[in-house]
């Protein structure tokens, strides 16, 4: 007998299964959404945010640990410190691809339980590393790499939640879901320094374990699986998604937004120490990720209101201006200007994260509907179903590439510091890249092209 929740009646011919499975789910139907959908979607969103938040907390463990390893008897060069924060980012990026497809194969609720429990592994290994300071550097790298499991949570959470909400209202909930996760970055960086002072560096690993167990229990008892989202992606679909031109373009743009956010978040403490060695970096390192996380729902809301492409293009302009201001502050040796300019950049990355994620489902929806018979309601429904499936797969691939972008940004700073002992050359390179993103956004989404039988920009069509 299929377990249904909140009056969700099974669709005729649906294959019944046990557990918390919902066979009928139609959020684009206004009556269904008002009567049942909104309530169920909100409940799943809350507990998805909780688990994803913890994933980011664990993912960022080493970004704060590297600032305190010397007190634990571990001496690292700047390059080694950046590698300890880069490898988790790289592994997290790689994990986002299998994590994207896991909800479709196992069910969103089921995978949330598993992905939460997996976070116990990096926490336990972190404690082991801190209690054994004589470990070789390669062992520290391997242990740090396991925190990448937390980075994978983002992709599975977003791919799952996108199925719960109407296509036209996904900007804000996706922004909230992502922001709740992103806030884990700043929570780790804010809460850990006083915890370390009070209980030692090993407490950074222990503290998350009870919360992880709680998140797994909440997901088990309160979340749902959607039958409509449970058909596994085939290798052919994965390969087609990776080759899709829209996936490629949005991956580049997401490198600019999320890649910047996570790259700066992992590196901010090291960048402060390098540029302003007299400043206590651990007191300020959390501010950047906090500002960027809070701005992400704003980006989703602005994209719902004005269009994701328009917001994204303006945002890249602001990011370019922001990093130019950071570079000017470094040259002038002005710490207040450096901090203010970098926080501005973090806010811009958050807004851009929200707007680009709003664009992804909109792009596939516009494309599928343009190819469907407008007079055939059944064809339109099939087109929307294809669009949801394609966008869910694209979200995972794009988020993985975006996280890899964070690695590239970290390495850009590492090379700049090692070659010039400063970060100004890296900032100039990033400003140029944001200029490329401005041009790419305009060319692909704001320039008028043919959509169906009408000449218009994709932004005018709803992207």
Task: Encode the chain in three state secondary structure.
Answer: CCCCCCCCCCCCCCCCCCCCEECCCCCCCHHHHHHHHHHHHHHHHHHHHHHHHHHHHHHCHHHHHCCCHHHHCCCCCHHHHHHHHHHHHHHHHHHHHHHHHHHHHHCHHHHHHHHHHHCHHHHHHHHHHHCCCCCCHHHHHHHHHCCHHHHHHHHHHHHHHCCCCCHHHCHHHHHHHHHHHHHHHHHHHHHHHHHHHHHCCCHHHHCCHHHHHHHHHHHHHHCCEEHHHCCCCCHHHHHHHHHCHHHHHHHHHHHHHHHHHHHHHHHHHHHHHHHCCCCCHHHHHHHHHHHHHHHHHHHHHHHHHHCHHHHHHHHHHHHHHHHHHHHHHHHHCCHHHHHHHHHHHHHHHHHHHHHHHHHHHHHHHHHHHHHCCCCCHHHHHHHHHHHHHHHHHHHHHHHHHHHHHHHHHHHHHHHHHHHHCCCHHHHHHHHHHHHHHHHHHHHHHHCCEEECCEEECCCCCCC
pLDDT band at residue 233 using 50, 70 and 90 as cut-offs: low
Q: What is the mean pLDDT of residues 212-222?
A: 96
pLDDT band at residue 410 using 50, 70 and 90 as cut-offs: confident
Q: Provide φ and ψ at 135, rounded to 5°.
A: -60, 140
Q: What is the mean pLDDT of residues 167-188?
A: 80
Both structure tokens of 182: 């992103």
Calpha distance 12→352 (Å, rounded): 42
Q: What is the mean pLDDT of residues 50-69?
A: 88
The mean of the pLDDT values for the chain is 85
Q: What angle is formed at CA 309 by the lines to CA 174 and CA 342, rounded to 5 degrees?
A: 75
pLDDT band at residue 163 using 50, 70 and 90 as cut-offs: confident
Distances 158 to 23, 132, 260, 326 between C-alpha atoms, Å: 20, 37, 19, 32
Both structure tokens of 117: 């429990």
Calpha distance 108→104 (Å, rounded): 7
Distances 98 to 156, 258, 261, 341, 399 between C-alpha atoms, Å: 8, 19, 22, 36, 12
The predicted-structure confidence for 352-397, as pLDDT tens digits, reads as follows: 998 998 888 888 888 877 776 566 677 777 777 777 777 777 877 8
The predicted-structure confidence for 411-457, as pLDDT tens digits, reads as follows: 899 899 888 888 999 999 999 999 999 999 999 998 877 655 666 77
pLDDT at 15: 39
Looking at the chain, the whole-number percentage of residues with pLDDT higher than 90 is 39
Give buried/exposed letters for 385-414 (b at 16+ CB in 10 A, else e): ebbbbbbbbbbbbbbbbbbbbbbebbbbbb
- The mean-pLDDT minimum among 35-39, 312-316, 372-376, 400-404 falls in 372-376
Are residues 17 and 148 in contact, defined by beta-carbon separation less than 8 angstroms? Answer: no
pLDDT band at residue 2 using 50, 70 and 90 as cut-offs: very low
Are residues 105 and 164 in contact, defined by beta-carbon separation less than 8 angstroms? Answer: no
Winning range, highest mean pLDDT, from 7-11, 52-56, 99-103: 52-56
The predicted-structure confidence for 73-122, as pLDDT tens digits, reads as follows: 888 887 788 788 888 888 988 898 889 888 888 999 999 999 999 999 99
Domain range 23-456, CATH class: mainly alpha
Report how far apart the first and last C-alpha atoms of the chain are (Å, whole number). 41
Q: What is the mean pLDDT of residues 187-204?
A: 86
The predicted-structure confidence for 89-98, as pLDDT tens digits, reads as follows: 889 888 988 8
pLDDT at 232: 61
Q: Which residue has 């510091």 as its token pair?
A: 417
pLDDT at 4: 43
Whether residue 13 has pLDDT greater than 50: no
Both structure tokens of 330: 């470094």
Higher pLDDT, 316 or 29: 316
pLDDT at 11: 41
Both structure tokens of 81: 């410190």
Q: Which residue has 């989404």 as its token pair?
A: 445
Q: What is the mean pLDDT of residues 192-214?
A: 91
Tell the burial category of 144 from Cβ atoms under 10 Å away from its Cβ (0-12, 13-18, 19+): buried
Q: What angle is formed at CA 41 by the lines to CA 116 and CA 167, rounded to 5 degrees?
A: 110
The predicted-structure confidence for 320-338, as pLDDT tens digits, reads as follows: 999 999 999 999 999 999 9
Winning range, highest mean pLDDT, from 157-161, 203-207, 244-248, 392-396: 203-207
Listed by start position, the domains of the chain span: 23-456
Q: What is the mean pLDDT of residues 167-177?
A: 77
- The mean-pLDDT minimum among 19-23, 149-153, 232-236, 425-429 falls in 232-236
pLDDT band at residue 194 using 50, 70 and 90 as cut-offs: confident
pLDDT at 12: 33
Q: What is the mean pLDDT of residues 251-273?
A: 90
pTM (2 d.p.): 0.78
Are residues 15 and 220 in contact, defined by beta-carbon separation less than 8 angstroms? Answer: no
pLDDT at 321: 96
């Amino acid at each position: 007998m299929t377990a249904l929740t909140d009056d969700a009646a099974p669709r005729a011919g649906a294959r019944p299964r046990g557990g918390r499975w919902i066979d009928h789910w139609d959020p684009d139907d206004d009556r269904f959404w008002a009567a049942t959908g909104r309530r169920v979607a909100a409940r799943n969103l809350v507990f998805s945010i909780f688990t994803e938040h913890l994933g980011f907390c664990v993912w960022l463990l080493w970004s704060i640990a590297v600032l305190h390893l010397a007190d634990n008897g571990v001496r690292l060069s700047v390059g080694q410190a950046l590698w300890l924060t880069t490898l988790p980012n790289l592994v997290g990026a790689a994990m986002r691809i299998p994590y994207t497809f896991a909800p479709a194969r196992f069910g969103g609720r089921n995978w949330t339980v598993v992905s939460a429990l997996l976070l116990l592994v990096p926490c336990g290994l972190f404690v082991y590393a801190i209690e054994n300071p004589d470990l070789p550097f390669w062992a520290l790298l391997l242990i740090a790499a396991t925190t990448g499991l937390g980075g994978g949570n983002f992709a599975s959470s977003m791919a799952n939640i996108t199925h719960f909400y109407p296509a036209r209202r996904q900007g804000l909930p996706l922004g909230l879901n992502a922001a709740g996760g992103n806030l884990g970055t700043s929570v780790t960086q804010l809460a850990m320094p006083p915890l370390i002072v009070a209980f030692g560096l090993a407490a950074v690993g222990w503290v998350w374990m009870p919360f992880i167990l709680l998140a797994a229990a909440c997901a088990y008892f309160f979340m749902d699986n959607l039958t409509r989202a449970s058909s596994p992606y085939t290798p052919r679909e994965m390969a087609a998604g990776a080759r899709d031109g829209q996936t490629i373009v949005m991956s580049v743009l997401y490198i600019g937004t999320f890649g910047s956010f996570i790259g700066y978040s992992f590196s901010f403490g090291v960048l402060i120490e390098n540029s302003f060695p007299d400043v206590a970096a651990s007191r300020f390192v959390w501010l950047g990720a906090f500002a960027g996380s809070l701005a992400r729902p704003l980006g989703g809301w602005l994209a719902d209101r004005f269009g994701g492409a328009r917001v994204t293009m303006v945002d890249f302009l602001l990011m370019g201006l922001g990093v130019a201001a950071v570079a000017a502050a470094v040259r002038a040796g002005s710490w207040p200007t450096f901090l203010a300019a970098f926080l501005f950049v973090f806010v811009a990355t958050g807004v851009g994260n929200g707007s680009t994620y709003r664009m992804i489902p909109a792009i596939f929806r516009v494309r599928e509907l343009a190819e469907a018979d407008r007079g055939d309601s059944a064809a339109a429904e099939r087109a929307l179903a294809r669009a949801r499936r394609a966008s869910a797969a694209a979200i995972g691939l794009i988020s993985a590439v975006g996280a890899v972008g964070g690695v590239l940004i970290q390495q850009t700073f590492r090379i700049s510091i090692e070659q010039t002992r400063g970060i100004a050359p890296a900032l100039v390179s990033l400003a140029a890249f944001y200029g490329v993103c401005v041009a790419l956004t305009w060319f692909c989404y704001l320039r008028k092209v043919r959509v169906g039988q009408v000449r218009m920009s994709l932004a005018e069509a709803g992207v």
